[in-house]
Amino acid sequence: MTRLGVFICHCGKNIARTVNIEALREKAATLPHVVLAKDYLYLCSKPGQTMIADDIREHRLDKVLIAACSPRLHGKTFAQTAQRAGLNPYLLDMANIREHCSWVHIDGAEGTEKAFSIIKGGLGRLLYAEPLEPFQSPVTKRVLVIGGGVAGIQATLDIANSGYEVYLVEKSPSLGGHMAQLGETFPTLDCSSCILTPKMVEVSQNEHVHLLSYSEVTRIEGNIGQFQVTVRLRPRYVDETLCTGCGDCVPTCPVVVSNEFDQGLGARKAVYLPFPQAVPAVYTIDWDACLNTDKLIICENCYKDCEAKAINFLMEPQEKMVEVGAVVLATGYELMPVARIGEYGGDEYEDVIDGLQFERMLSASGPTGGVVRRPSDGRIPQNVVFVQCAGSRDPEHGIPYCSKVCCMYTAKHALLYKHAVPDGQVYVFYIDIRAAGKGHEEFVQKVMSEERILYLRGKVSKIFKSGAKLVVWGADTLSGRQVEIEADLVVLAMAVIPSSGSQKLARTLHIASDLSGFFSEAHPKLRPLESNTDGIFLAGAAQFAKDITDTVSQATGAAGKALSLLANDFIKLEPTISEVEEGICRGCGLCVSICPFGAVKMLPSTRTGAMVAGINPILCKGCGLCTAGCLSGAVTLKGSSFKQIFAQLEEMV
Amino acid sequence: MKIILGNSHPQSLFAQRIEALSRQKLFACYQCGKCSSGCPMAESMDLLPNRVIREAQLNNGPVIMSCRAVWFCSSCFACAVRCPKGIDIARIMEAVRTLQMLDGKPITEQPFCEDTGTLPQIALISHFRKFNM
């Protein structure tokens, strides 16, 4: 004979305001199998939990219903209470009489009646509940970090310094990401590469780090604790183990192409090192630019000049399989192309550039040696217009969100330009100044007042050419006037968007991204470092536009998440997953196509050998889609069986 | 009126003169409008105090030189005390008045507060200063 206990929570006044707890408890006590019905002001409080545990033991309750809030809030709390009292936690269920009842009802009588039917339903469901045991899955103690910018570097170092192996996969020939391109960083004006390159070197020297540069992740299988990753290593045509980084291959290379590291402002050869501090310090042949093809060798200049004999035109792509327990995604951002905004000239005008290009100009190692010059004629500009929110906060034509870093870097650009060209004039168009970081507002205010920068409140409507000059049409909404500026150089603070390969990667990894293409976090407030796939963590601008400080914080956080996973030899997984009854399954395979997690596969039955559905308990999230979809009723979701659900419905209606 | 800035229109000549006369940092102003919200004379002004500063930042000479608001300013310094950026707006008003006078604007044309008897003393004193009495 089942001995049921019902505990009703007042939740202060949250439930008691609408529901007549006294009446509810009396009615609940009369229900079949109920041997104990109690109420309490806050069941989730320590005395409340102690009361429940004591009653479970004292009254030998074998199933317990907690009528309180949503199980999303306190499901775990009460499951632990049951466990402490020696009751299988899956024999304790919750009836949500707060969110589903007291919060949405005004009338007390109606509310009480509904609460009663919810309790009746809960008890019905509980009658068929069976004890379940969580199961375990082993954890591979290695981590894959995708993306070698400052986020990936930080996460890699944090994990590697804890003694775990890290595979760091970077798409481009060198680590560093966008941070390596920056001149100085706001608001402290630290030299960007001076603070980044030591970390890059640290990565290359750490014995726990396997750096896979010029590589991409092409496939991921498995699940939390045990991912099987396929990495494609693109051929560099230079042997990494032989190349000394001397650069003798460069001078005689006949091919000159624009340098992506300088955002197209400078040039490089087909054989190149992206920048002097590149890690690994190994040259790469850009095969698209090189005169040679897979079938034909036309030019051997670099091969002849290389004393180390590191050049190998026959190099082929390689695939590497790695097994890891966790993944940190740090694929970063890029800027929306200037071409997207036609009214600013698209990319028609050489002297309309984006923020990263200006950054390269300010960099001492940049194409102009740190001198600000107009790309068109190389002259030093006297009037520079900065346009913030270029593409950002423009749901009609660009992106709806604020790119977050532009206010700060534009102020920094204005400051650095004024220091370089003291008699030059700077105009900044903005719609709001968003400087909500430590020292940020102070920085912007200082730039405005000390450098006497004219901030114009309005969005620029049009930029066009007039002779050698650019004419900028804007407005100053503070004075209510149109503004026309004859400028030498226009710098657009283009919107920050996810890096171009991130969507493909999201599909490879089976993780979700938001409407703008940034990877989605598991919970916007409480789980910002986790993707919606267990074991895959997020760091940096791949999750959303953010500055270096926030990126490093998030990367360290993601590393911490990965480490806390690796600290376990096994992970406990919820037993509330689907189960196939082989004898009933007719092998139609419908569930295989329904499952969003790829957890169902057709396998030969252990008894008959016929193909039947088999569920991977680690991949299954217990969503129940297969149980609803199965035409034969062969699939059961443990903890929410058909018997339980029908009993609940029957009691409620 | 359109504001023209850039190569052939050096931006800050006018602003520089006001800064030199008032010894205030014109570009420290971020146009919050607190000076205007508390100005006891604002209702009589053709340009609110923050707008006077804005026009100066924009180097808008014609508007500044013809603005009458500065003559309504009684130099009560409420704005200067309350300004979050520590700008002494009353000094800027004074600088604009000086510029207008240097420009040869006859003082007699300027408005004058009639009921001097009810004015606070500080305002009366600043009126003397204003009209070189």
CA pair distance A243, A490, nearest whole angstrom: 41
Q: How far is B121 from chain A (nearest CA, A)?
A: 33
At B111 the pLDDT is: 54
Sign, CA torsion A260/A262/A266/A269: negative
Closest-CA residue to A353 (of A490, A496, A181, A485):
A490
pLDDT-flagged residues of chain A (< 50): none
pLDDT of residue B103: 84
C-alpha B113: how far from its chain's center? 17
Q: Where are the alpha helices (DSSP H) in B39-120?
A: 49-57, 61-66, 69-72, 78-82, 89-102
Q: Between chain A and chain B, how many beta carbons pairs sit less than 8 Å apart?
A: 80
Q: What are phi and psi of A138, to 5 degrees?
A: -70, 155
Smallest Cβ–Cβ distance between A454 and the set B2, B8, B57 belongs to B57
- Chain A contact for B33 (CB, 8 A cutoff): no
Q: What is the pLDDT of residue A361?
A: 94
- Say which CATH topology domain A335-497 has: FAD/NAD(P)-binding domain (3.50.50)
Query: Within 10 Å of residue A212's Cβ, how many Cβ atoms?
Result: 21
Q: Does A452 touch chain B (CB under 8 A)?
A: yes
CB < 8 Å to A488, chain B: 7
> Tell me, what's the pLDDT at A596?
80
What residue in A sits closest to B55 (Cα-Cα)?
Answer: A479
C-alpha span between A647 and A5 (Å, rounded):
18
Look at residue B130 and tell me whether its pLDDT is greater than 90: no
Q: What is the pLDDT of residue A347?
A: 85
Closest CA to A280 of A321, A332, A233: A233
Q: Do A487 and B10 touch (CB under 8 A)?
A: no
Does domain A4-127 bear CATH number 3.40.50?
A: yes
Tell me, yes or no, if the two domains A236-315 and A577-637 fold the same way. yes
> How close A448 comes to chain B (CA, Å)?
6
Interchain contact B51–A (C-beta under 8 A): yes
pLDDT, tens digit, for every residue of A473-516? 999 999 999 999 999 999 999 999 999 999 999 988 889 999 99
pLDDT of residue A426: 95
Pair A255, A290: CB distance under 8 Å: yes
In the block, which residue shows the tokens 């008959």? Answer: A608
Within 8 A of B24 by CB-CB distance, chain A residues are none
Question: Any idea where the domains of chain A sit in the sequence?
Answer: 4-127, 142-234+317-332+499-566, 236-315, 335-497, 577-637
Which among A433, A481, A485 has the least Cβ separation from residue B1? A481
- From residue B76, alpha-carbon distances to A84, B119, B128 in Å are 72, 10, 13
Question: What per-residue confidence (pLDDT) applies to B114?
Answer: 59
| Crossing angle between the packed helical segments A355-362 and A406-420, to the nearest 10 degrees | 40
Distance from CA of B114 to the nearest CA of A (A): 31
Can you name the residues that pair with A229 across neighbouring β-strands? A220, A322
User: Tokens 């560093």 identify what position?
Assistant: A176
Nearest beta carbon to residue A476 from set B7, B58, B85: B58
CA distance A381 to A563: 50
Which residues of A are less than 8 Å from B51 in CB distance? 479
Q: Mark which residues 377-416 of A lie under 8 Å from B by CB.
A: 382-383
| DSSP symbol at A100 | I
The fold of A577-637 is Alpha-Beta Plaits (3.30.70)
Whether pLDDT at B14 is above 90:
no
Tell me the CATH class for A236-315: alpha beta
CATH code of the domain occupying A142-234+317-332+499-566? 3.50.50.60
Binary contact (B30, A482; C-beta < 8 A): no
A447 touching B, CB under 8 A? no
Q: Hey, which residues does B9 pair with through a beta bridge? A: B6
CB-based contact (8 Å) between B87 and chain A? no
Give residue B83's identity as a one-letter amino acid code: C
The whole-angstrom distance between A474's CA and the closest CA on chain B is 10
Greater confidence (B111 vs B90) lies with B90
> CB contact, 8 Å: B12 with chain A?
yes
Name the class of domain B13-130: mainly alpha
* A452 with B12: Cβ contact below 8 A: yes
**Tens digit of each residue's pLDDT (9 = 90 or more) over A508-556:** 888 999 999 999 999 889 999 999 888 999 999 999 999 999 999 999 9
- Identity of residue A130: E
Q: Checking DSSP bridges between strand A284-285 and strand A165-169, what pairing results, if any?
A: unpaired
- Measure in Å the smallest separation between the Cα of B22 and chain A Cα atoms: 15
User: CB contact, 8 Å: A449 with chain B?
Assistant: yes
pLDDT at B133: 45
Would you call A482 an interface residue with chain B, using a CB distance cutoff of 8 Å?
Answer: yes
CA–CA distance, A296 with A72 (Å, rounded to integer): 64
Phi-psi region of B6 (alpha: psi -120 to 50; beta: other; left: phi over 0): left
Interface mutation vs chain B, best among A478, A484, A489, A490, most B CBs within 10 Å? A478
Peptide bond just before A134 cis, omega within 30 deg: no
CA–CA separation, A60 vs B16, rounded Å? 87
Subunit contact B7:A383, Cβ cutoff 8 A? yes
Tell me if B6 and A425 make a contact (CB, 8 A cut-off): yes
**A53 close to A81: Cβ distance less than 8 angstroms:** yes
Interior/surface letters B40-69, b for 16+ CB within 10 angstroms, e for the rest: ebbeebebbbbbbbbbbbbbbbebbeebeb
